[in-house]
Amino acid sequence: MTEPPRVTGTLQYLRRYPVKGIAGEDLSEVFVTFAGLIGDRVYAFSDPQNHTDMPWMTARQWRGMLLLQPRFLEPPSAAQERPAENTFRVEVTTPEGARYNVRDPQFHRYLEQHFGRPLEFRFSERSMHDARPVSLISRQTIDALSAETLLPLDHRRFRANFVVDWDSTGPFCEDSLVGRRIHIGDVLEIMIVKNDMRCIVITLDPDTAAASPEVLQVVARHHASCAGVYGAVLREGIVRPGDRVSVD
């Protein structure tokens, strides 16, 4: 049997999203658990009238969500494998300059005014994901989509946890990695389990929330509506930008 090709690279960006649906943050290091990155999507707002498996209020419903900037007041350190709940305190800054604790009822009312409906506030240390605990996309894929759409696409638009720069592999290589194991750094091991089916959020500029519908149109027309992949964590560990990435 022919061995699958050797795939290696470097972790270029490491990102988490403290509040589901709003802006994220680049990290210098983080502990990745079986539930995902510590602090990733631990807060969320949902529509109590939506009884589907996707009740979350995100930029799909109000693009201004992307302009809300979160900040952990006492960020959980990478050495804290099971941080205390008080380390998850988050402050959110609005485009108008107002600052709210994410638990503040005034912030909840601020969101309800923009969404035009009552919302339910949620917290879970285990994170609240759409599909799997971690997500990955490559620099090569983002560059290829930039060329196809004639737009300079920022990695933040794709809201992935890991952005990888492959050593000698072309764009959309990650599509071929479903079912294979990826090692990042000294310890972390993940299994790529499915392609990342995209929605209108990738059409929104992360700095302005301006829409470019052609981004999703290109992904739908040429890439089966997918860009990047989801993974399940097989072995927990600390990762940092610059860590080596290898695929079994």
Please write the tens of the pLDDT for every residue from 24-75.
999 999 999 999 999 999 999 999 998 888 899 999 999 999 999 999 998 8
Boundaries of every domain in the chain: 7-247
Q: What pLDDT digit, counting tens, does each position of 112-133 carry?
A: 999 999 999 999 988 898 889 9
Give the CATH number of domain 7-247: 2.40.33.20
Sorting pLDDT into bands at 50, 70 and 90, what band is 103?
Answer: very high
User: What pTM does this model have?
Assistant: 0.93
CA distance 135 to 67: 22
Per DSSP (E only), the strands in the chain are 7-16, 25-26, 30-33, 36-37, 43-46, 69-72, 90-93, 99-101, 120-123, 134-138, 162-166, 181-184, 188-197, 226-235, 237-239, 244-247
Question: What percentage of the chain carries pLDDT values higher than 90?
Answer: 85
Residue with tokens 């900037």: 69
What is the H or E stretch that residue 107 is in? helix 105-115
More reliable by pLDDT, 1 or 176: 176
pLDDT at residue number 216: 98
